[in-house]
Amino acid sequence: MITTALRSAYEKLFETASIPDLGEDGDGGWNADQILAHLLSVDAAIAAVALGVVAGSRPSFDNRISLDSWNLDRIIAAHSGRSNLIDHVRNQATMLCDIADQLNDQTSSVLIPALLLSNDALVLDQPIPLASLIDGLAEDHVPVHTQQLLDLRVAVREHIS
């Protein structure tokens, strides 16, 4: 697989996550640390799926644990501040990209049973190729969360005005 787009999406995310004074979501959504914890959880799960496929097992992907507030709080508490959390997400994203870079066509085409939820709505409940699961991060998942982080900055400016 080629991970140029995914690596680029993450670089934009890390630039955005490093903006000082990211506030709370005005609509009660996730704050910056929760977004980062969610990304860390998703990346670790997808890396585990990819390694499982390489090992010969047929894992599934279910993103519900990466949406669970208890799990997000656990991940946040394990880090000593936003900078440390960003570093861990960066390391996890690098690991995922490094694994994906080594997947051949046969491995990346293995169908993965996937269950994806977003905002309590079912997004996907069907098998998809491993490559699509990984590419979906670059095409949708990471850019959406980058925009969420940018919106937190906008919310801070509007709140101050």
Instruction: Compute the average pLDDT of residues 35-48.
Output: 98
Query: What integer pLDDT is reported at residue 20 of this predicted model?
Result: 85
Report CA 2 to chain centroid distance, whole Å. 18
Q: Which residue has the higher pLDDT, 24 or 148?
A: 148
Query: How buried is 120 (Cβ within 10 angstroms: 0-12 exposed, 13-18 middle, 19+ buried)?
Result: exposed
Q: Which of 23-32, 46-55, 96-105, 150-159 has the lowest mean pLDDT?
A: 150-159
Task: Say whether 129 sits in a helix, a strand or coil.
Answer: strand
pLDDT in tens, 65-80: 999 999 999 999 999 9
Q: Is the pLDDT of residue 131 over 70?
A: yes
What distance, in Å, lies between the first and last C-alpha atoms of the chain? 46
pLDDT band (50, 70, 90) for residue 161:
very low
DSSP codes, 43-84: HHHHHHHHHHHHHT----EEGGGGT-HHHHHHHHHTSSSHHH
Q: Which of these, 46, 13, 12, 40, lies nearest to 135 by C-alpha position?
A: 46
CATH fold group of domain 4-160: Four Helix Bundle (Hemerythrin (Met), subunit A) (1.20.120)
CA distances (Å), origin 16, targets 22, 44, 102, 153:
9, 21, 28, 9
Percent of the chain with pLDDT over 70: 94
- Sorted by where each begins, the domain ranges of the chain are 4-160
pLDDT in tens, 87-128: 999 999 999 999 999 999 999 999 999 999 998 899 999 999
Query: Long-range contacts of range 105-110, CB-CB < 8 Å, 24 or more positions apart?
Result: 107/53, 107/54, 108/1, 108/134, 110/53, 110/58
CA separation for the pair 30, 48 (Å, rounded): 25
Q: Are 110 and 128 contacting, i.e. CB atoms less than 8 angstroms apart?
A: no
CA separation for the pair 120, 128 (Å, rounded): 21
Q: Pairing between strand 121-129 and 61-62?
A: unpaired
